Structure 1
């Protein structure tokens, strides 16, 4: 009994102590609630590690994936793996990227980007001549070291390496995770995969912001056309990239920022839309020039080398309309003068779903005219514009996102095309979580051209359409 009584006594003490503790917690909760219970949970929207207490020195990692579903009306004569196809449905990855960058000290900045582009069932774009390409798509896009001359000031940053720091226009170095439209105007990436590596070049540069002026100037060491992995162009009366010689390329971009200053952390990249978070209105002018970059042979023994001279002027607007509701607008209008030498013309199509085109259907004897391609680059003049409207915040209820419809127009007058070339896009973004999670539906209407010889100007044959669904995830 004694043992039993001791057990009862200990049990009673434990029960009493538990009751007293519970009463104390209850009393504490009712009279002075814990601070954390009234604070909303804040989700981090970045992968960032601070190297010092203030966070001025840091390392940051980002990941981007853009998956595309395409339904395309192909250009006449297009084939897919040897079979004629008028229409295609394809699935692919437009861009898959990883970035690592950081301010390592008051003066030292590092930027790296690794990833792949245009990966569909044809494994397109990187090296069309390779027998097996599925595992060689990913590569370093950028590898840059930068020195910040003035501590905590962006007056002058000097850098070098493989970089997209570029001239011509803001869309020559776009931040692809933040673009408003389905895709950027690729013609502004003027030498893409011809004498550069997916718009990146080995360069030394200076960039900065002084007052309202944002500037960048660079000297680039272009790659020979022989190393781009495609069949070499043939000499003829129409200009091509030179197969002999090697000259440096000079480029620059200057933007006058009337209101808010744009982000200036990562080298060269320009935000597509701030979704109303900034009030931005810029005027810009840019150029790219290279001596003897192009060549033509008008007649046997008559070889002429020509300079490449490209320049543009443009305006960019991105600002809120009503901060309380979250509505905003985005608009861009630019004029581009593109001189690649006499009658230069090159086709291109993003995530092209066709593999070839019947020889009898080739416009101007040019290659790469199948599928969704159109004359994207050429000697002449281009007007490009876009407009988008961001609807009110939480259009579908709290946490369910909003919509941003847009229109996109590219009008080109090229020496080697007989009429004005017009490419039109209309689309809508469903911004589930801003740019971090969004779905975009886009319809593009483009021209195709009649078969012709290599010297005759291309004549319009009709128009084709493409419907694309994109799902973007970014952190």
Structure 2
């Protein structure tokens, strides 16, 4: 089956890293409202929405081949009243469509929910601590990925290794610390693990696989907290860590080479039944090493973006859920080349990606291969992406699709 997806992304006031990270020749800064003359007191507001028109070939005779949905609708705000304090709030909805709308807007899918809300206190110019519902994650660069400037069509799904298992939409409630020592950046956190997760209705069975239900079945004392961290060394240009969202490609705007390592550890996060039929907690541990390279090539406007990671996942004995979360290991990489072009506004970037996973539960592998191209009309602010992807699971199931994306944010 082939799916053709048209994604129209409209945003206002832009994302709050810097214009430098977006690679746009037309962008000079988002909406920042100064509260004093020198701008040290300010607030910033960001709003965006994603609209999908999806075409599917293989549908029942009674169903339409084309459907529309709101994939994401978000508002993000943050403010500093002085250099020491920052507060950020981010809320919105996801995947609103004709099947889950409510006649008067009171359905669960119609309701706004918090994605992020945290407060932060600076410890000098290089370090800060904060608390709340936050996105300062561990494991890898891709587990901290921004969704606005990815090079591939979307993030590698298995790299977001906790969504719905221990967190709410990739965010935990907890405390974090972040900062840098010279060229070494760090982020570490102690978090609460959610009780009602994607396996809220499942129970472990005798001689069966582990179930991610430690907090629900064993209690918050033994299985309530998790720990995460990510550390990366910036060999060349220093990346911003003002906000947690990692840039996917700088389009030759910076010369970046980073090597990183990270972890996620949830003691007794999963549960199984032992030989006597008693509940037994199993530690969940995910760690990864990765490398990111993004740099211009000469003076002709070309650039290369390359990323590679090795990730080891231990969710418990023979754990598997929806062919996404599985005990085993993963190697993932992608590489893209920005083609030189005399037109400074329009640029083209072909790319390819590859994911190889070993899966304990099926004693076999899964592979995902992708090839695509970006057409940047105005950097990440306006681009088209066409991607073909093929996934083979266990040597049996195979799924291929083509996606066309149009993305604009202003």
Contact kept in structure 1, 2:94 and 2:109, CA below 8 Å:
no
Alignment partner of 1:329 is 2:264: no
Query: Residues of 2 paired with 1:297 and 1:208: CA distance?
Result: 42
Alignment partner of 1:54 is 2:38: yes
- Say which of 154, 165, 174 aligns to 1:203: 174
| Structure 2 unmatched runs, 5+ | 1-24
Q: TM-score, normalised by structure 2?
A: 0.84
Q: How many residues align?
A: 374
| 1:42 Cα deviation from its structure 2 partner | 7.5
Q: CA RMSD in A?
A: 2.6
Query: Residues of 1 paired with 2:146 and 2:137: CA distance?
Result: 13
Q: Give SS of 2:371's match.
A: strand
Equivalent residue number for residue 282 of structure 2: 306
Query: Residues of 2 paired with 1:253 and 1:145: CA distance?
Result: 20
If each structure's helix is expressed as a fraction of its own residues, which one has the higher value?
A: 1
Q: Give SS of 1:429's match.
A: strand
Query: Residues of 2 paired with 1:85 and 1:187: CA distance?
Result: 34
Q: TM-score, normalised by structure 1?
A: 0.73
- Say which of 352, 365, 369 aligns to 1:420: 365
Equivalent residue number for residue 263 of structure 2: 287
Alignment partner of 1:467 is 2:402: yes
Contact kept in structure 1, 2:76 and 2:88, CA below 8 Å:
yes
Classify 1:90/1:413 alpha carbon distance in 2 versus 1 (closer, same or farther; 3 Å). farther
Classify 1:231/1:208 alpha carbon distance in 2 versus 1 (closer, same or farther; 3 Å). closer
| 1:222 Cα deviation from its structure 2 partner | 1.2
Alignment partner of 1:386 is 2:334: yes
Contact kept in structure 1, 2:391 and 2:400, CA below 8 Å:
yes
- Say which of 231, 234, 256 aligns to 2:203: 234
Equivalent residue number for residue 11 of structure 1: none
Equivalent residue number for residue 4 of structure 2: none
Classify 1:431/1:50 alpha carbon distance in 2 versus 1 (closer, same or farther; 3 Å). same
Classify 1:298/1:230 alpha carbon distance in 2 versus 1 (closer, same or farther; 3 Å). closer
Contact kept in structure 1, 2:365 and 2:395, CA below 8 Å:
no
Query: Residues of 2 paired with 1:281 and 1:93: CA distance?
Result: 36
Alignment partner of 1:404 is 2:388: no
Contact kept in structure 1, 2:141 and 2:290, CA below 8 Å:
no
Classify 1:108/1:422 alpha carbon distance in 2 versus 1 (closer, same or farther; 3 Å). same
Query: Residues of 2 paired with 1:298 and 1:187: CA distance?
Result: 28
| 1:468 Cα deviation from its structure 2 partner | 1.6
If each structure's strand is expressed as a fraction of its own residues, which one has the higher value?
A: 2
Equivalent residue number for residue 270 of structure 1: 246
